[in-house]
Structure formats: structure tokens, C-alpha cells
């Protein structure tokens, strides 16, 4: 589901709790990847 379809369905009543859950999941995933990248950058292989 793209942002354009989300915007289009906004008027017809989208399940916002589901949207927020997906958004939170994406943020958490990005956060984990960021931490992994930083640890890899500074820590190297121990």
C-alpha cells in the first residue's frame, strides 16, 4: 500500500490504528538498522 492510496482512502475512513502500527513498525525497523550500522561502523569485527 502506497502513500497515494492511503491519502485517497483517508476520506473513506481508513483504519488509522493499523496505519500507526505499520508506521511504528517502520520507525522501529529503521532505528534497529541505524544502530546496527553505527555499531558496525565503530565496532568493526570483535
pTM > 0.95: no
Name residues whose C-beta falls within 8 Å of residue 19's C-beta, 6 or more positions apart in sequence.
6
11: pLDDT strictly greater than 60: no
Let me know if residue 7 belongs to a domain: no
6: pLDDT strictly greater than 60: no
Cell of 20: 500507526
Residue 4, CB half-sphere, CA atoms under 13 Å: how many? 0
Cell of 44: 568493526
Let me know if residue 30 belongs to a domain: yes
Q: Cα–Cα distance between 26 and 39 in angstroms, integer? A: 20
| pLDDT one-digit tens code per residue, 16-35 | 788 889 999 999 999 999 99
Q: Cα–Cα distance between 46 and 43 in angstroms, integer? A: 7
| pLDDT > 90 fraction of the chain, expressed in percent and rounded | 46
Domain housing 38: 18-46
Let me know if residue 6 belongs to a domain: no
Let me know if residue 34 belongs to a domain: yes
Let me know if residue 28 belongs to a domain: yes
Domains contained in the chain, number: 1
Amino acid at each position: 500500500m502506497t502513500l497515494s492510496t492511503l491519502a485517497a482512502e483517508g476520506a473513506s475512513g481508513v483504519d488509522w490504528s493499523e496505519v500507526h502500527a505499520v508506521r511504528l513498525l517502520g520507525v522501529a525497523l529503521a532505528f534497529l538498522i541505524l544502530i546496527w550500522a553505527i555499531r558496525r561502523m565503530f565496532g568493526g569485527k570483535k
